A and B are shown apart, each in its own frame.
Chain A
Amino acid sequence: MEQFKDIMKGAMLIAKKELAGYFSTPIGYIVISVFLVIAGFLFFSTFFLYGQAELRAYFELLPLLFAFVIPAITMRLFSEERNTGSFEMLMTLPLSTVQVVTGKVIAATVFASIMVAPTLVYAVSVAFVGSLDVGPVIGGYLGAVLLAASYASIGVFASSMTKNQIVAFIIGFAICIVLSLITKFLYFISPKIVSLFEYISADYHFQNIARGVVDSRNIIYFTSVIVLSSMASIYQLEVRR
């Protein structure tokens, strides 16, 4: 426990610095704006086109949106450091690779949560217009944070592999898009392995939670993705030196 506190202390210092970094350049604001415009469009298109006040369309497409936006958030986290050389300083500080990776994942997750938070306004507007089912909203936002953390871990891993941010983005995007879309191809697949594909699909687990049913399997899935990706990042940092 004491050890865990020590690890988190170092990780939080990295997280704090990275989070401040997001807002010290226009990039952070640009990413948030782009996300909110698209999310707003998704929400209001069902609102006006079908006269339905609900968050379903928004949550339905959130994994796809995240697959695109989150690798853009994480791409710089290690690549930029490798590119400018600050990586050398970072790696010679008295921090473990666990702390560094955890800190960066936390920063990206918190940033993504800040990005998503304004969409709560949609939920409030739905509550005004029609009847709001609270369960799916809570589930949806909890799921959004878990999904963000998972994709952030994947994105950080992609970033740890290369000094080129564009390459980091493409790798992260490729992995996340597969996890987001894999269940969409289930029609072509024999029913026997459907459940396997469902199990590895982030979209499947997210949609479960977003329906308001939080199953331990879903939580275990996201936790596994976060832990495995972070371990892969740590391996990258340890081995490539």
Chain B
Amino acid sequence: MISVRNLVKHYGEVKAVNGISFTIRKGEITGLLGPNGAGKTTTLRILTGYLQPTSGIVSVDEFLVDENPIEIKKRIGYLPESAPLYPDMMVYDFLQFMADIRQIYDKEKIKDIAIQCGITEVMHKNINELSKGYKQRVGLAQAILHDPEILILDEPTNGLDPNQIVEIRDLIKELGKEKTVILSTHILQEVEATCNRVIIIDKGAIVADDSTSELKSASGKDIRINCIIGGVTFDAIQDALKNLQGIKLVQHIRDAGQLCHIQILTEASVDLRPAVFNCIKDNGWTLYEMTREYRSLEHVFRELTVGV
């Protein structure tokens, strides 16, 4: 279990982290989400003991980071942002070095990890000859080498190709079944795809902390229904729909030839799709398309960080 209490980190005048508190239970995959400069990397660096906080308490299990850093470092696998490795080392030698330090003497372990992270073909290349994505994978391999209880990944899929992103996300999900994972990202789909909990931070403070599904379904906001209707003008549609209960606003998006594209804002409590459909049918118009916009994490994120 990781516990963070009132964490503050100032770099001179810059207040990078401003009183963050959270607790992470075993077996959770938590996404740390936030715009550039929000303080994600700073927070993770404090968790790993690399940076010293200006104030605040960080503990892992029964250990405090500033009292027992070595014990904590043994339990953590860490992939720093942009995976800084030793450029002059061969991948294999690098992993062997990490294994020695982690006191792993099982020769098969490095092979297994190499397969898991898809780096078997580059094991005998120098790290500075690797592409960004491969470097990232070697960084990940290094982080999971010692089967850590806690994985801290700073933008783990940064620089990976789409296939690899899917593979790495699956790997993270797989690892997350037994381990506690904290990852930072700006990619909302990443959080939706991998995390069961999201902590959104902005300007060094937490603005939301909830399960991924809870955050998305948070009520109180409008639901939008998009329709494309044929054989009618916008004014006629607006008149007809006005009478329906629960409709707040009908907006004209655009006309495309004979088709009229509209957006209906309704209250969140009711699903008006059947009513809208019936209204269109009763008037003898043709419905080409009807979709309901779910409140995406993207909406939530923008609302919380920019306020729109």
Q: Which residues of A contact B (CB under 8 A)?
A: 10, 13, 17, 20-21, 24-25, 84-89, 91-96, 241
Contacts and interface: CB of A to CB of B under 8 A. Distances in A.
B7 to A, nearest CB: 15
A93 B97 CA distance: 11
Contacts of B293: none
Given A92-B49, A92-B76, 10 more contacts: A13-B97, A13-B101, A17-B89, A84-B84, A86-B84, A86-B85, A88-B84, A94-B70, A94-B102, A95-B70
Contact of B100 (A13, A24, A87, A89): A13
B74 interface: yes
Contacts, number: 58
A85 B127 CA distance: 14
Contacts of B87: 84, 86
A44 to B, nearest CB: 35
A88 B45 contact: yes
A89 B97 CA distance: 12
B285 interface: no
Nearest to B82: A85
B50 interface: yes
B84 A94 contact: no
Secondary structure type dominating chain A contacts: helix
B52 interface: yes
A41 to B, nearest CB: 31
B101 A88 contact: no
Interface in B64-111: 70, 73-74, 76, 78, 80, 82, 84-89, 93, 97-98, 100-102
B50 A88 contact: yes
Contacts of B59: none
B70 A91 contact: no
B1 to A, nearest CB: 19
Nearest to B93: A20
A79 B88 CA distance: 15
B97 A92 contact: no
B73 to A, nearest CB: 4
A95 B101 contact: yes
Nearest to A239: B52
Given A10-B101, A13-B97, A17-B97, A92 B88 contact: no
B78 A89 contact: yes
B253 interface: no
Contact of A86 (B49, B52, B86): B86
19 contacts: A17-B89, A17-B97, A21-B86, A21-B89, A24-B88, A24-B89, A85-B80, A85-B84, A86-B84, A86-B86, A88-B50, A89-B142, A91-B50, A92-B73, A93-B101, A94-B70, A94-B102, A95-B70, A96-B70
A25 B89 CA distance: 10
Contacts of B73: 92-94
A85 B86 CA distance: 9
B48 interface: yes
B244 interface: no
Interface in B98-141: 98, 100-102
A92 B50 contact: yes
A92 B48 contact: yes
Contacts of A91: 49-50
B74 to A, nearest CB: 4
A89 B80 contact: yes
Nearest to B78: A92
B209 to A, nearest CB: 25
Contacts of A88: 45, 50, 80, 84
Contact of B85 (A25, A89, A94, A95): A89
Contacts of A94: 70, 73-74, 101-102
- Sort A-B residue pairs by CB-CB distance and give the 4 closest, nearest first: A85-B84, A94-B73, A94-B74, A92-B48
A95 B73 CA distance: 8
B84 A21 contact: no
A45 to B, nearest CB: 37
B51 interface: yes
A236 B52 CA distance: 13
B53 to A, nearest CB: 10
Contacts of B45: 88
B147 to A, nearest CB: 14
Among B49, B86, B87, B88, the one with the most A-chain Cβ atoms within 10 Å of its Cβ is B86
A102 B267 CA distance: 67
Nearest to B90: A24
A35 B181 CA distance: 51
Nearest to B100: A13
A93 B70 CA distance: 8
Nearest to A238: B52
Contact of A89 (B70, B84, B93, B102): B84
A96 B70 CA distance: 7
Contacts of B101: 10, 13, 93-95
Contacts of A89: 78, 80, 84-85, 142
A96 B74 CA distance: 12
B51 A241 contact: yes
A20 B86 CA distance: 12
